[in-house]
């Protein structure tokens, strides 16, 4: 008896079996992933069982889960057919989107369902949000002149902000991009750093450089930095400036002092956009010094024209293990606060 026949005999009450056949074996293999790793992730997330045979995949499970699996696979196939690579992150995005929308494709009434927000740049073409929080973030970036984004590492706060800034630059909505971080060491003491000013601040700003090169060719990034179209500088260098017709990003803002944050916020000039990202659970300021990010969010909550997006542990889009690590630390913090309150 073949594995497929064995699966049919094991259908439990309430389960169904769905066969999905794709036109192109090569594209289907991209969707399934190396050693069917993408398919395995869908099985774990939706509680289904899937078997592949060339361009045919047979899915067994609860009717709703089997139908969702079909829609997710068809969505991924359409992306792969459009020339997009399919990784585990894309699988997460398709699963999240299908869960929030109820469906990924037009229904019987021919109406297109609402999809997650996306950004477009010349290098990356279309980049779509992978979680509902990311979609809300991109929507806020398009709507507000000033946006706060707070949440754990790995949720895409900085990466999407840089992508949005690049898209605004390419559209001509702004004339330059200014990227900044507080030069605060994360628990270590690096000591004296050799080199000129750019070489000294590079270790602090490397994550922003990496994000820039994801959305722009390396040549364009270098040319932009030479002409001033792209500026990367420590937060301390913002004092005394008025930033007009620019998209200004402050990353790792939890490490800005209250005075630094006030100084930065008041740099906003005509025709500019400002994005402030950070994780209030990873503050590296000296003991007793308050975070400017936390204070600013509390003070400006509800102010017209300001967007505020909160990412949670479940929004982590890096490796699955990162999500579980962040969740474990969050639970430990809650437990520690509970113990402290009892004392």
CATH number of the domain that 51 lies in? 3.30.1370.10
Is 74 exposed, middle or buried, given 0-12, 13-18 or 19+ CB atoms closer than 10 A? middle
In a domain, 286, yes or no: yes
| Domain co-membership, 143 together with 198 | yes
| Domain co-membership, 178 together with 279 | yes
| Domain co-membership, 79 together with 224 | no
The confidence band for 202, taking pLDDT boundaries of 50, 70 and 90, is: low
Rounded CA separation 330/151 (Å): 11
| Domain co-membership, 145 together with 72 | no
**Overall average pLDDT of the 15-21 stretch:** 84
Q: Which residues contact 306 (CB under 8 A, 6 or more apart)?
A: 144, 146, 147, 148, 300
Q: What pLDDT does residue 101 have?
A: 53
| Domain co-membership, 254 together with 136 | yes
**Overall average pLDDT of the 251-273 stretch:** 92
SS3 content of the chain, % helix, strand, coil (to 5): 50, 15, 35
| Domain co-membership, 95 together with 122 | no
In a domain, 113, yes or no: no
The confidence band for 281, taking pLDDT boundaries of 50, 70 and 90, is: confident
Q: Which residues contact 51 (CB under 8 A, 6 or more apart)?
A: 3, 4, 7, 57, 58
Rounded CA separation 175/246 (Å): 6
Q: Say how many domains are in the chain.
A: 2
**Overall average pLDDT of the 174-191 stretch:** 70
45, 95 Cβ separation under 8 angstroms: yes
The residue with greater pLDDT, 85 or 185, is: 85
pLDDT at 245 over 50: yes
Q: What pLDDT does residue 250 have?
A: 94
C-alpha pair distances (Å), 280 with each of 15, 201, 254: 45, 23, 6
| Domain co-membership, 174 together with 94 | no
| Domain co-membership, 81 together with 159 | no
| Domain co-membership, 89 together with 193 | no
pTM of this prediction? 0.68
pLDDT at 114 over 60: no
Mean pLDDT computed over every residue of the chain: 81
**Overall average pLDDT of the 302-311 stretch:** 91
What CATH code is carried by the domain that includes residue 236?
A: 3.40.50.300
In a domain, 41, yes or no: yes
The confidence band for 274, taking pLDDT boundaries of 50, 70 and 90, is: very high
Q: What is the pLDDT of residues 284-302, one digit of tens each?
A: 888 888 999 999 999 998 8
Closest by CA to 252, choosing from 290, 231, 280, is: 280
Q: What pLDDT does residue 247 have?
A: 95
**By mean pLDDT, which of 56-60, 102-106, 330-334 is the weakest?**
102-106
Domain end (from 35, 68, 101): 101
In a domain, 109, yes or no: no
Range of the domain at 9: 3-101
| Domain co-membership, 136 together with 215 | yes
**268 CB neighbour count, 10 Å cutoff:** 17
Q: What is the pLDDT of residues 28-52, one digit of tens each?
A: 888 888 888 888 888 888 888 888 8
Q: What pLDDT does residue 272 have?
A: 93
Q: What pLDDT does residue 201 have?
A: 60
| Domain co-membership, 238 together with 300 | yes
């Amino acid at each position: 008896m073949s594995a497929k026949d064995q699966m049919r005999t094991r259908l439990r009450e309430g389960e169904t079996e769905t066969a999905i056949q794709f036109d192109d074996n090569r594209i289907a293999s991209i969707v399934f992933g190396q050693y069917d790793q993408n398919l395995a992730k869908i099985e774990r997330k939706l509680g289904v069982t899937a078997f592949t045979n060339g361009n045919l995949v047979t899915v067994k499970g609860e009717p709703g889960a089997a139908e969702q699996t079909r829609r997710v696979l068809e969505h991924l196939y359409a992306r792969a057919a459009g020339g997009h690579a399919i990784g585990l992150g894309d699988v997460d995005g398709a699963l999240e989107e299908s869960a929030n929308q109820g469906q990924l494709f037009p229904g019987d009434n021919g109406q297109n369902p609402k999809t997650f927000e996306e950004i477009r740049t010349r290098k990356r073409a279309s980049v779509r949000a992978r979680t509902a929080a990311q979609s809300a973030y991109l929507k806020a970036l398009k709507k507000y002149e000033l946006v706060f984004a707070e949440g754990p590492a790995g949720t895409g706060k900085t990466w999407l902000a840089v992508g949005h800034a690049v898209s605004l630059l390419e559209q001509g909505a702004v004339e330059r991009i200014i990227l900044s971080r507080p030069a605060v060491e994360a628990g270590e003491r690096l000591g004296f750093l050799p080199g000129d000013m750019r070489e000294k601040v590079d270790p602090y700003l490397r994550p922003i450089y990496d994000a820039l090169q994801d959305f722009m060719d390396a040549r364009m990034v270098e040319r932009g930095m030479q002409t001033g179209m792209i500026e990367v500088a420590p937060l301390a260098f913002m004092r005394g400036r008025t930033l007009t017709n620019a998209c200004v990003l402050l990353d790792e803002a939890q490490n800005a002092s209250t005075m630094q944050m006030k100084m930065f916020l008041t740099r906003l000039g005509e025709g500019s956009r400002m994005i402030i990202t950070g994780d209030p659970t990873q503050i590296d300021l000296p003991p007793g010094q308050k975070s400017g990010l936390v204070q600013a969010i509390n003070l400006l909550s509800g102010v017209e024209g300001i967007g505020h997006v909160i990412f949670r542990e479940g929004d982590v889009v890096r490796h699955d293990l990162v999500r579980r690590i962040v969740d474990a630390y969050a639970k430990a913090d809650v437990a520690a606060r509970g113990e402290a309150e009892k004392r």
